[in-house]
Amino acid sequence: GYDVSKLLATTGKVALDIGFVNTAACTSAVTYIDGDAGILRYRGYPIDQLAASSSFVEVSYLLIYGELPTAQQLAEFDQSIRYHTLLHEDLKQFFKGFPRDAHPMPVLSSAVSALSTFYQDSLDPFDQRQVEISTLRLLAKLPTIAAYAYKKSVGQPFIYPDNSLGLTENFLRMTFATPAEPYEQDPELVKALDMLFVLHADHEQNCSTSTVRLVGSSHANLFASVSAGINALFGPLHGGANQSVLTMLESIQREGGDIASFVERVKNKEPGVKLMGFGHRVYKNYDPRAAIVKQTADSVLDKLGGNSELLDLARQLEEVALTDDYFIQRKLYPNVDFYTGLIYRAMGFPTRMFTVLFALGRLPGWIAQWREMIADPQTKIGRPRQLYTGATERPYVAIDAR
């Protein structure tokens, strides 16, 4: 209902870029993406090489400190994370206040926000020692918080961290062990989940990372900024997509597995019907992470005998979409989330935990980007402009005259 070019003409030097399609809000040396070529690199290292050879803790170090660690640096970093895994006992009480059917994402963001109240000695963004401690605390405590959110939802007692275990093993144990039954670690599955965390660890200025930066640009502390990022990730167009993909596949299956008619509904743009797990703002080619996830889905589902019908459905859906003009013209390819849900489900995670797993993976990226922003002397508080489209000046009307 308004003429953008007229508005621009009257506002002067303001660029209108809804959704920041072309506007860079910062410079960054953390992650490189070439969306047309399907390339993703962390600090210059190709994602496929990191997925094949590195670990999540090593990649966290790489993202945050800019270089691959030496063996000694990695051992020290790993040890420091293990040291901080426990939650304050009073923070544990916090989980009891939520309804049992609460979605674990807002539980996660609330608990992370609450870290600001429990760890007041590490909130100053300009004190390097405090930034280091809050970095370690977050990396160490988020898996514990995530596992507690899960335990709360299934009504089981919390399992304390066991610091003889690495980050991913510890998280799996805290999630799936009970006081009655230990959790048997399967090294292949630990490796697969660790690798999925690596694939999610950073993705430059996506919605949640931009949120972390925007909130942090007001000099809000790291816990507050990351809590905001978790809420941004919760949305179904972002991290919530991995949950939506599985819901979509299950509903297609329930309705008899008719892929062609589902794709027709997508193409007709029926309200609320999208091919979830497809499309990306930056990738106009196959998401390099999706290719790796697809292979992992094959091997994990082979091993665990997960729902192979859903995997078949996903494969057929991909095949149909990749040969259909609607998707070809719009350069819509599977993104990282298209196959992850199937793996998480086979590992035993309920659908509601999928986005929590994304948050665990994305954490080092949020921290690295927040630290880069705080250390950058060019940083200013984020404050977008607008083009005003409301009423021009009008006199106040008394209530009895309306």
- Residues in contact with ligand ACO by CB under 6 A are 19, 237-239, 241, 266, 274-281, 330, 332, 335-337
For ligand ACO, the closer CB: 200 or 371: 200
147: how many CB neighbours lie within 10 A of its CB? 26
Q: Rg of the chain's alpha carbons, rounded to an integer?
A: 23
CB of 332 to ligand ACO, least distance (A): 5
CB of 289 to ligand ACO, least distance (A): 8
Q: In the chain, what is the straight-line distance between the N-terminal and C-terminal CA atoms, in Å? A: 25
For ligand ACO, the closer CB: 35 or 69: 35
CB of 22 to ligand ACO, least distance (A): 12
342's CB contacts (< 8 A; 6+ apart) are: 246, 249, 297, 301, 306, 307, 310, 311, 314
CB of 266 to ligand ACO, least distance (A): 5
For ligand ACO, the closer CB: 163 or 316: 316
CB of 223 to ligand ACO, least distance (A): 23
For ligand ACO, the closer CB: 20 or 388: 20
CB of 372 to ligand ACO, least distance (A): 21
Smallest CA-to-CA distance from 16 within 35, 33, 3, 34 is with 3
Q: Rounded to 5, what percent of the chain is helix, strand, coil?
A: 60, 5, 40
For ligand ACO, the closer CB: 337 or 372: 337
Query: Of 103, 200, 280, 287, which residue is the catalytic one?
Result: 280
For ligand ACO, the closer CB: 259 or 304: 259
User: Measured in whole angstroms, how far is the alpha carbon of residue 47 from the centre of its chain?
Assistant: 16
Taking CB atoms, the residue at the shortest distance from ligand ACO is 279
* Sheet arrangement for strand 31-34: 31-34, 39-42, 45-46
Query: Of 78, 194, 287, 337, which residue is the catalytic one?
Result: 337
Pairing of strands 39-42, 31-34: antiparallel
Bridge partner list, 46: 41
Phi and psi of 339, rounded to 5°?
A: -110, -10
CB of 278 to ligand ACO, least distance (A): 4
For ligand ACO, the closer CB: 133 or 276: 276
Largest CA distance in the chain: 77
User: Measured in whole angstroms, how far is the alpha carbon of residue 6 from the centre of its chain?
Assistant: 39
Q: Annotated catalytic, 337?
A: yes
3-state secondary structure at position 101:
coil
Contact 244, 335 (CB under 8 A): no
Dihedral of CA atoms 57, 60, 61, 63 in degrees, nearest 10, equals: 160
Give the separation between CA 56 and CA 193, rounded to whole angstroms.
Answer: 9
Distances (CA, A) of 86 to 43, 69, 144, 292: 30, 25, 7, 33
Smallest CA-to-CA distance from 289 within 218, 338, 324 is with 338
Q: Which residues are catalytic?
A: 280, 337
